[in-house]
Amino acid sequence: MKGLVAYLVGIALFYSALIQGQINHVGLTKELAASESRLKSIQEFILDEESPSQSTIHLEAYWKLSPAQRFIDGYVKHTFLYDASKGSNIRLLLSDELEVDSVLSSAGISLNFNHNENKLEVDLLQFADGELIQVEIYYHGEPPSSGFGSFEINQSPYGRSYIYTLSEPYGSGDWWPCPVYRNSKIDSIDVFIETPSGMLAAGNGLLQSIDSSGVSWIHHWKHKYRIAPYLISTVVGDYFVRSDTVNLREASLPILDYVYPEENSIWEETDPRFPPMIQFVDSLLLPYPFSNEKYGHAQFPWSGGMEHQTMSSMRNPDETLKIHELAHQWFGNLVTCGSWSDIWLNEGFATYLTAVYFERFRPDEFEKWKKDQKEFILSIPGGSIYVSDTNSVTDIFSGRLSYSKAAMVLHMLRNQIGDVAFFNALRNYLTEFSSDGFAKTVDFVYIVESACSCDLQQFFQNWIFEQGHALVSVNWSQNLDVLEFELTQSTSVNSSDLKILKLPVLLQSDLGDSLIHIDLTESTQTFKMNVDFICTDIIIDPKNDVLVESRKNHVLSADISDDYLLYPNPSSTDVYLISKSGLELPKKVSVYDGNGKLQGEFEVSTDGRVRLENNFSWSQSVSWLVFIIDNKRFSLPYLKNKQTSF
Ligand SMILES: [Zn+2]
């Protein structure tokens, strides 16, 4: 039941206008990139590359939290099968700002531990290799504030305080003892959050219970799917809970939104757009990955959104934010990028899925999205999608490269191999790597090549690993019915190879436009074609589908006079020859067909009327009227009007 008293009408109207109006796609992409980038310490990067420690198969956490105080008090219990080959300890990340009170085994025995340099190492020497072990860590303290805030207290616009967490990529250790190794997922979690009575805590998975019998409330959230540590999250504060269900392919899925009480009406207004959104992605890709549980949004006082598993955090119910974080449930959460160099496998896909959603539901917005993204990407000549320097957070979460360019390259890939192969590849990628939970760029390349049975090494080399975009110059001319154009390619970055392009080219004419696709593989290629129209212009990439900057350095115009005009043109019978610049009219004209063969000569009246005979046998639809005035030759294209000819 979603019917609620609408208030804060002004704000509701503002958001309504925002949602109905045009979207600033680039601005939103930049905000998303900024919101999802978190500062990482050098030490954390080093840990990123380390060999794995023990793999937690189940995590139980108990956190006592209140928005009134920046403080955490509780425990975390790691359950794992002891693998002695990974060392005689379990290594975890935990900020030195937090104090460890004790570490216990499941039998209640104190375990030796060492906590410094933001790492916690617990001694496992007393256990046997292969043994199922539970290590329970009790700790408390004031979590540090790193990056944009892995653990924060902030106020909503209405003055209420909220705790929220934002751990990507390594902020988890700021507030709980988490695995050091990036590429390990936890099979399932049980999280208990103790809050002041009356306050709510949102979390991953399903809410099992709220124990409101004591002075505090204890909220139990359970998530039974594999989860990367940085996707474990909670928010605590005054919330209004909105609930609904949506029918998906394999489940009737609960939708659960924790929203500011003051903004409930805004959510109510935008909610109807969400079921078609999740149904679309669910049907396009694999079924929603966490279909036995729920999906939801937790509103939090921070600009942007974050794809916490089954419960995305976001500042407001913005349509683009919603679809972006929803797409991450597949690309990012079900299958996570295997290293920070491959971040585009998370961000580029979530960004492109947003565009595909617009293409389906709001085609005009899709066209605008492509135009905006292309302008943004081409505004700077360099930069590769693959991140070579993962010490640079700016590089990893580059809005222009990891988000926008990656999304446009996916769009180009789709045009290169076709919709069927492209979307099959996306589904195959998710299927293939969902069990491991991680994938790298080479994995995706392999999947796509298998789906299209084609060699895409050069495409990915051009567009993912190398920098820059394509520059294409066009020269063109038309001689009667032969249209000839020459395309010359270079790149915006000298060191890059020429780009492999499937280039859309629009041939404009008075009879209408023709779109052709050219496979551009050489630095210079010449094309000749017979046409039955007079080409008036050639437009490279008319619908912004390719990362190409086009230049018409020199247009070789056809031998067409600007001094005279034929009207009407096309025509089926007679036409008038009009002098545009005051030159005299000829007494007669010669007519040639498209092959340059003389068809006849015709008188011109003093009023310019050219008496073309109705029974004249036109061999081609394009003809030329040629005449000479003062020893100067003038040519005018004449088009036979097919509709009215007889
Ligand atoms: Zn994202």
Give 489 Cα–ligand 1 centroid separation in angstroms: 33
Tokens matching residue 456: 């895409």
**Do 333 and 309 meet the contact criterion of CB atoms below 8 Å apart?**
yes
- Give the whole-angstrom CA distance, residue 280 versus residue 18: 23
Give 16 Cα–ligand 1 centroid separation in angstroms: 24
Give 405 Cα–ligand 1 centroid separation in angstroms: 14
Phi and psi at 81, nearest 5°, equal -90, 120
Q: Is 323 helix (H, G, I), strand (E, B) or coil?
A: helix
Domains of the chain: 50-330 (2.60.40.1730), 470-551 (2.60.40.1840), 564-639 (2.60.40)
DSSP, residue by residue, 589-635? EEEEETTS-EEEEEEB-TT-EE---TT---SSSEEEEEEEETTEEEE
- Give the whole-angstrom CA distance, residue 189 versus residue 222: 6
Give 406 Cα–ligand 1 centroid separation in angstroms: 12
Residue with tokens 């020199």, as numbered in its chain = 554
537 forms beta bridges with 508
Give 307 Cα–ligand 1 centroid separation in angstroms: 7
Give 251 Cα–ligand 1 centroid separation in angstroms: 25
Give 346 Cα–ligand 1 centroid separation in angstroms: 7
- CB atoms within 5 A of ion ligand 1 belong to 36, 347, 350
Q: Tell me the CB-side half-sphere exposure of residue 454, using CA atoms within 13 A.
A: 13
**Do 354 and 321 meet the contact criterion of CB atoms below 8 Å apart?**
no
pLDDT of residue 148: 66
- Give the whole-angstrom CA distance, residue 411 versus residue 504: 13
| Global model pTM greater than 0.75 | yes
pLDDT of residue 633: 64
Give 344 Cα–ligand 1 centroid separation in angstroms: 9
- Give the whole-angstrom CA distance, residue 42 versus residue 46: 6
What percentage of the chain's residues is helix, strand, coil (to nearest 5)?
A: 25, 35, 40
Cα–Cα distance list, 645 to 446, 513, 577 (Å): 56, 21, 20
pLDDT of residue 452: 96
Tokens matching residue 21: 């109006």
- Give the whole-angstrom CA distance, residue 488 versus residue 474: 7
pLDDT of residue 595: 54
Give 474 Cα–ligand 1 centroid separation in angstroms: 37
Give 305 Cα–ligand 1 centroid separation in angstroms: 8
Give 337 Cα–ligand 1 centroid separation in angstroms: 12
- Give the whole-angstrom CA distance, residue 596 versus residue 121: 88
pLDDT of residue 43: 40
Distance of CA 443 to the CA centre of its chain: 19
Q: Which residues of the chain have pLDDT under 50?
A: 1-21, 37-48, 554-558, 615, 619, 643-646
Give 350 Cα–ligand 1 centroid separation in angstroms: 6
Give 450 Cα–ligand 1 centroid separation in angstroms: 27
pLDDT of residue 18: 36
- Give the whole-angstrom CA distance, residue 479 versus residue 512: 19
Give 33 Cα–ligand 1 centroid separation in angstroms: 7
pLDDT of residue 617: 53
Give 401 Cα–ligand 1 centroid separation in angstroms: 13
